Structure 1
Amino acid sequence: MTGERDGAETAMWAAVAAGEHHAPHDVLGPHPSTDAAGRTATTIRARRPLAESVTAVLKNGTRVELIHAADGIWEGTHLGEPVPYRLATVYDGSNERVSGDPYRHLPTVGELDLHLIAEGRHERLWEVLGAHVHLLDGEVGVSFAVWAPNARAVRVVGDHNGWNSEGHSMRSMGSSGVWELFIPGVTPGTLYKFQILTPDGAWILKADPMAQRTQVPPETASVVPFSAYSWKDGAWMTRRAATHAVAQPMSVYEVHLGSWRGGLGYREIADPLIAHVTETGFTHVEFMPLAEHPFGGSWGYQVTGYYAPTARFGTPDDLRHLIDRLHQAGIGVILDWVPGHFPKDEFALARFDGRPLYEHPDPRRGEHQDWGTLIFDYGRPEVRGFLVANALYWFEEFHVDGLRVDAVASMLYLDYSRREGEWEPNVHGGRENLEAIRFLQEVNAAAYRSHPGIVMIAEESTSFPGVTARTDQAGLGFGFKWNMGWMNDSLQYISRDPLHRAHHEGEMTFSFVYAFGENYLLPISHDEVVHGKGSLVSKMPGDHAHKLANVRAYLAYMWGHPGKNLLFMGQEFGQIAEWAEGRPLDWWLLDQPLHAQLQRFVGAMNHVYRSTAPLWERDGDRSRFRRLGAPRWDPSVIAFERRDQHGGRVVVVSNFAGVERPNLELDLPAAGVWDEILNTDASEYGGSGIGNYGRVAAHTPDAGGSPTTRITLAPLATLWLRHRSGGTA
């Protein structure tokens, strides 16, 4: 004993013993002292309730017997400065149990880390907060750190302590709101959570917001991670860093991993997915959210574990393996990312330390009433830092090539899906969420700065200006914006009976007016084939053959239209049933010739697209696009020209009427030979075989004017014509 304690010290000891104190290291662990002769000494205290004896075994083997002082806290002194030691404890006549002492170690979170966290500027936050295996001062264990500024006390609970957390209280790292503890002997795979004493005096149990691995839902514990993965995609990553996605071909295959084939994990899906994407020619796979989420029916869009790949399909290293394999096969990987909202599940982020923390405290800004979810407090630096670092985490730790940011419109506007009186204007009296705008600018700037060659994609459905403009020009800084207007208008048009399409030509061509105002990606996504909307095939009019012809014509028109392309899984072979996340796609349809031919067509179209620079090289350049029309205008025939920077020319001609257009007179941009590089009505794709024998010739009339040709257009068909440089008629 070092002497009698006063009332405050006695109360502190009792709080430490109960695991309710914010600074347990002030009592427990080694403390400099002096002995009766005034010599330098070290007093060691350890919490070991119900122990028969406790002995500190110093690094040199010296044993220092500890004596029970009070409240299950044992105390003893040895001469000299503090040295490493372990604790040997006997319970109820059993053998000695030797273990490390969490309270003998210095903090694992540094002052610079704390400063950056408080500023919202720690771009590698996942390396500081959460759970990390360390070799610290001769002992292997796990450092735990969590941000919980409103907590009165925080404890680590899990497999390592039999889910009794009183002996593993964390220390507060001051005004930063961070709590920290290193626990020797904890190993990878250990389940854990944080037990938090709220300002109201209630203990609540929370999963780690920074967990990099979790239990398989519906279980909710976090898992101590460890990765030994060795990447083999160096060539891909080098090429990526030297490219700019806007000037590259991009056709994206959107995948819901759980229902693509069903029953396949990250590793098992690699071979069949690579084979399919290679055959169908897509440049990228976009996975619907793979961050951990409690309810599969949310499709991953209600995230509880932002740093943890869902355990439904395997471990984090299994996901690394899948992405690595895709890269080695020349296929890019885009991941859906959901920073717009999060669910209210009690084990996760909601009221994390007993108060609104990650969510905005004002429900007018902090809740999505439509979705029953909470909205991040984008103005709080630590929350902004949590999200920015999360985006960088997926690029750094999983080598993803892009993030598609979900529901951007809901972030941009304070009155999103709210009635009058349900929202609060910004400081200027406007409806824009200024804090969310600054966050989006910051995350995009950070992503492009730290990972050249990646792409950030906005799912944004409004006319908000400058979504893909640079942040230093007051833009949001995205690489691409989903063209939702084109999607809605074109699907409305293509679902009409061909007899009536001539009266609605603007639904297919209005997009030409604004197609160059942003860098666009044209999406036919999962949202268009669920909730009673039917599949792409089922939207089409006519009998089955006509439906598939409409799909081919529509997709070729879409791929020719300015912008990159995205198609949801199953549409490439004509999935008939509406998508449902609980069952796999209807792959048996490929046993039917027309569906196999549709998939063959998509593969051919993608491969021609990728080798035809005019269709992708200058998507956002209006000067490289020109609408074409026949001398005698036909509102069911839509034609336009695309050009690359080297003089290459492609003309896209679509006949959306239900009847053939034989011998159609059409002005072309240049005289000479135009090769028919794609015909959606080719017999090998299930069409009737109507075409132009592989080429057409354009002649300049003797009287002058535009070069003119006569072509044959099959009903419900699209042609791609490429000008043959130097070719003559």
Structure 2
Amino acid sequence: MAPRDLSLPESAGPRPPGAPALDPSDRGRLLAGAHHDPHALLGAHPVPGGIVFRALRPFARSVAVVVDGERTPLASEGDGLFSAVLPLGAIPVYTLLVAYDGDEQEVHDPYRFLPALGDLDLHLIREGRHEQLWKALGAEPMTHQGVTGTRFTVWAPNAQGVRLATDFTYWDGTAFPMRSLGACGVWELFLPGIGEGTRYKFEITSRYGHRFLKADPMARRTEAPPNTASIVHASHHEWGDAEWMAHRGDVPVHAAPFSVYEVHLPSWRPGLTYRQLAEELPSYVKELGFTHVEFMPVAEHPFGGSWGYQVTGFYAPTARLGTPDDFKYLVDALHRAGIGVIMDWVPAHFPKDDWALARFDGDPLYEPGNSQRAEHPDWGTFEFDFGRTEVRNFLVANATYWCEEFHIDGLRVDAVASMLYLDYSRDSGQWTPNVYGGREDLDAMAFLQEMNATVYRRNPGVVTIAEESTAWGGVTRPTDSGGLGFGLKWNMGWMHDSLEYIGKEPVHRKYHHHEMTFSMIYAYSENYVLPISHDEVVHGKQALVSKMPGDWWQRRANHRAYLGFMWAHPGKQLLFMGQEFAQGAEWSEEHGPEWWLLDPGYVAAGDHRGVQDLVRDLNTLYRATPALWQRDTDPGGFRWVLCDAADDNVFAFLRYDADGTPLLAVSNFSPVVRHDYRLGVPDEVPVWYQALNTDAARYGGSDVTHLDGIKPENGGITLTLPPLATVWLTPSSV
């Protein structure tokens, strides 16, 4: 039923009495967006003679209040303010009729609602202990006091005032000032009738009087770059991965097979959305036998050329490929295919874009106040203030957010070393020692410990992985023993040394033999992943096959032999996309892998398919052979057979599973066949069978192979070693 129009002509009698004038200071601060409590001025309040109704509606032609179906006009006070006093004894339920040129809308008044954020939430935010911070801050569609709308909340403790600017206000925040909820620094506004898909930003007035628009740090959805607005979002995805989630933690990750395919989603198949990727990526990864995929950062970032490592939207998957629910669909599809999902997570730094986190409320907030400490010297970014409880909470909650809301199985934490050292990339005089006079960042240590402990406690089966490039002790030691608490650590030393070795001409490799054996000196000091990642195939470093010396045949042979050595070496494996089929060119985020190399019409397609077939077989045998993964962190699971044959470029070692069943890996990094090569092996194995030979013809090799079993004699076996190849031998035939 339409409200009755009680507006009166001039001769029909007096209008409702005017409202008491606002205090000039309050009025000025309200209109300037610098008032801490607009709800005390706007909405309905008792006054002598009744209830005053006051609304702030810039550009409105008229505003009326509707009570029990009766419409009463409000008088204009100028500057978009409208008010009137109604002779009522109590504040009623009411709506507003707001008329613009050619349009009239009946709306609930945002300023008649109590705060939609509870005291417990505010307490946890202030203490820095809100482990589900995304449910308290940001934009939350909800029903509040019986009315459907969206609660907007933001942490901006240094602001004079905060207003909500939206697409439907043409990015002018005047109509929707937010209220401060006290010492915690949170500002709040419940906006009735506003739901999913609304684009918004926060209009902040700093303590210095500057006014600017900021994207929501807690936004769960964003516009696609180069646009920068936040979008109100509620998830409607129905998960189908219950079985995966129930069993993903049955075996501890360090004692389970873990072979990772690293992917840059926007360029894996350029142009595909999350949902389209879900139709192709799981089947490809499953066919190749990898246990996990690792996504380079998916959180929103303005510059695609950063590959996602300069994040502005820490709680939002990049909109370039679809919505948050679309990303969930992709994760779900991978889980249903039996593939775990790891994502790169970037808490070390953030870019200086003026619409994002930098100087968020006009002062350093997420970054340290000390400019020397705030600036990251390598990347032109800001570092996080790990010593501030709210900032630490923002990041800890973000880590668990991806695990809980998106069912992510692991977080690979980027640039850990840059967080741990106060003098990272800084010269003398550019950093200040900690309270003990050392170079360790104690706040960053505490943050990483808290993050790891929280993630593991809240998300059984999840693993955290450190990209940490120094000899920091205890990266994967539990936090209750003083360690940082990561589950795994990238073995950057192994990566660097082994690539140095394999890049040498075979004639020179004998002088670098130790670079392939040194990793075993420290192999059990941490729980390691062996990474051949995106960082090793860009910026002039060349693709993996192109690092190899020799002609095309030799480069491929070296590539295959190296992968065979890598898969047998203690530690988990990670291989970047394109390297699984020996792409010769460096990776480009614009073009992605060179899939055309596998096209049947390409003259050398067989060469690349041979390497791809090898990777498939490596993963298949790896998963079926507990000796290769069950005792990765146990020194008793490894024994050198031959580590000093530098002149021959030969390495041989044994891996053992929990029952003592061995696998023998032999690598010949020389381009010559070595006949009658003697190796000492355990007497308890009656016959050794070739399980894998990277020189097999089907992989593109010369097919120097062992078709029959090999029986030990006098405490050893005699082999013919194929050129530039790795051979795996097991006690049973495959």
**Contact 1:505 1:635 survives alignment (8 Å):** no
Q: Whole-Å Cα distance in 2 between the matches of residues 557 and 670 of structure 1?
A: 24
Asked if 1:678 corresponds to 2:678, the answer is no
- Counterparts in 2 of 1:637 and 1:126: CA distance versus 1, 3 Å: same
CA displacement at 1:2 relative to structure 2: 7.9
CA displacement at 1:693 relative to structure 2: 1.3
- Tell me which residue corresponds to 1:661: 674
Asked if 1:625 corresponds to 2:633, the answer is no
Unpaired segments of 5 or more residues in structure 2? 1-16, 600-604
CA displacement at 1:18 relative to structure 2: 4.0
3-state secondary structure, aligned to 1:176: coil
CA displacement at 1:10 relative to structure 2: 2.8
3-state secondary structure, aligned to 1:74: strand
- Counterparts in 2 of 1:197 and 1:709: CA distance versus 1, 3 Å: same
Matched positions, count: 711
Q: What's the CA shift string for 1:445-468, capped at 9, x where partnerless?
A: 000000011110000000000000
CA displacement at 1:81 relative to structure 2: 3.3
**Contact 2:282 2:337 survives alignment (8 Å):** yes
- Counterparts in 2 of 1:52 and 1:559: CA distance versus 1, 3 Å: closer
3-state secondary structure, aligned to 2:710: strand
CA displacement at 1:95 relative to structure 2: 5.4
Residues 88-127 of structure 1: pairs in structure 2 closer than 5 A: 88-91=97-100, 94=102, 96-127=104-135
Q: What's the CA shift string for 1:126-167, capped at 9, x where partnerless?
A: 111111111222322111100011110111101132222101
CA displacement at 1:104 relative to structure 2: 0.8
Residues 591-630 of structure 1: pairs in structure 2 closer than 5 A: 591=599, 592-629=605-642
- Tell me which residue corresponds to 1:704: none
CA displacement at 1:656 relative to structure 2: 0.8
Q: Whole-Å Cα distance in 2 between the matches of residues 52 and 248 of structure 1?
A: 69
- Tell me which residue corresponds to 2:313: 305
Residue 463 of structure 1, aligned match among 451, 464, 471: 471
- Tell me which residue corresponds to 1:581: 589
**Contact 1:173 1:180 survives alignment (8 Å):** yes
- Counterparts in 2 of 1:195 and 1:3: CA distance versus 1, 3 Å: closer
Q: Whole-Å Cα distance in 1 between the matches of residues 463 and 644 of structure 2?
A: 42
3-state secondary structure, aligned to 1:241: coil
**Contact 2:18 2:83 survives alignment (8 Å):** no
- In angstroms, what is the RMSD of aligned CA positions? 1.8
- Counterparts in 2 of 1:610 and 1:50: CA distance versus 1, 3 Å: closer
CA displacement at 1:634 relative to structure 2: 5.7
3-state secondary structure, aligned to 1:403: strand
3-state secondary structure, aligned to 2:507: helix
- Counterparts in 2 of 1:80 and 1:670: CA distance versus 1, 3 Å: farther
- Tell me which residue corresponds to 1:688: 702
3-state secondary structure, aligned to 2:597: helix
Residues 418-429 of structure 1: pairs in structure 2 closer than 5 A: 418-429=426-437
Q: Whole-Å Cα distance in 2 between the matches of residues 504 and 180 of structure 1?
A: 63
- Counterparts in 2 of 1:273 and 1:694: CA distance versus 1, 3 Å: farther
- Tell me which residue corresponds to 2:660: 647
Asked if 1:502 corresponds to 2:510, the answer is yes
Alignment-mate amino acid for residue 328 of structure 2: R
Residue 440 of structure 2, aligned match among 432, 443, 452: 432
CA displacement at 1:501 relative to structure 2: 1.2
Residue 55 of structure 2, aligned match among 39, 46, 67: 46
- Counterparts in 2 of 1:51 and 1:576: CA distance versus 1, 3 Å: closer
**Contact 1:641 1:669 survives alignment (8 Å):** no
Asked if 1:12 corresponds to 2:12, the answer is no
Alignment-mate amino acid for residue 57 of structure 1: V
Residues 343-422 of structure 1: pairs in structure 2 closer than 5 A: 343-422=351-430
3-state secondary structure, aligned to 1:226: coil
Residue 292 of structure 1, aligned match among 279, 295, 300: 300
Q: What's the CA shift string for 1:362-387, capped at 9, x where partnerless?
A: 12221112210000000000000000
Alignment-mate amino acid for residue 63 of structure 2: V
Residue 206 of structure 1, aligned match among 214, 217, 222: 214
**Contact 1:503 1:635 survives alignment (8 Å):** no
Q: What's the CA shift string for 1:19-75, capped at 9, x where partnerless?
A: 33111001111224453xxxxx543221234545432223x4344443345652313
Q: Whole-Å Cα distance in 2 between the matches of residues 325 and 473 of structure 1?
A: 38
**Contact 2:223 2:319 survives alignment (8 Å):** yes
**Contact 1:19 1:168 survives alignment (8 Å):** no
- Tell me which residue corresponds to 1:86: 95
Q: Whole-Å Cα distance in 1 between the matches of residues 547 and 679 of structure 2?
A: 30
**Contact 1:154 1:169 survives alignment (8 Å):** yes
Q: What's the CA shift string for 1:167-217, capped at 9, x where partnerless?
A: 100001111111000111212111111110011111011111011111110
Q: Whole-Å Cα distance in 1 between the matches of residues 59 and 198 of structure 2?
A: 25
Q: Whole-Å Cα distance in 1 between the matches of residues 196 and 610 of structure 2?
A: 49
Q: Whole-Å Cα distance in 2 between the matches of residues 303 and 578 of structure 1?
A: 24
CA displacement at 1:631 relative to structure 2: 11
Structure 1 range deviating more: 242-251 or 169-178:
242-251
Residues 435-454 of structure 1: pairs in structure 2 closer than 5 A: 435-454=443-462
CA displacement at 1:474 relative to structure 2: 0.3
Q: Whole-Å Cα distance in 2 between the matches of residues 338 and 208 of structure 1?
A: 18
**Contact 1:49 1:73 survives alignment (8 Å):** no
- Tell me which residue corresponds to 1:38: none
Residue 27 of structure 1, aligned match among 36, 41, 47: 41
Alignment-mate amino acid for residue 103 of structure 1: Y
Asked if 1:160 corresponds to 2:168, the answer is yes
Unpaired segments of 5 or more residues in structure 1? 36-40, 702-706
- Tell me which residue corresponds to 2:232: 224
- Counterparts in 2 of 1:409 and 1:49: CA distance versus 1, 3 Å: closer
Residue 539 of structure 1, aligned match among 540, 547, 552: 547
- Counterparts in 2 of 1:566 and 1:99: CA distance versus 1, 3 Å: same
- Counterparts in 2 of 1:415 and 1:47: CA distance versus 1, 3 Å: same
**Contact 1:364 1:424 survives alignment (8 Å):** no
Q: What's the CA shift string for 1:339-373, capped at 9, x where partnerless?
A: 00000011100000110000011122211122100
Residue 190 of structure 1, aligned match among 193, 198, 222: 198
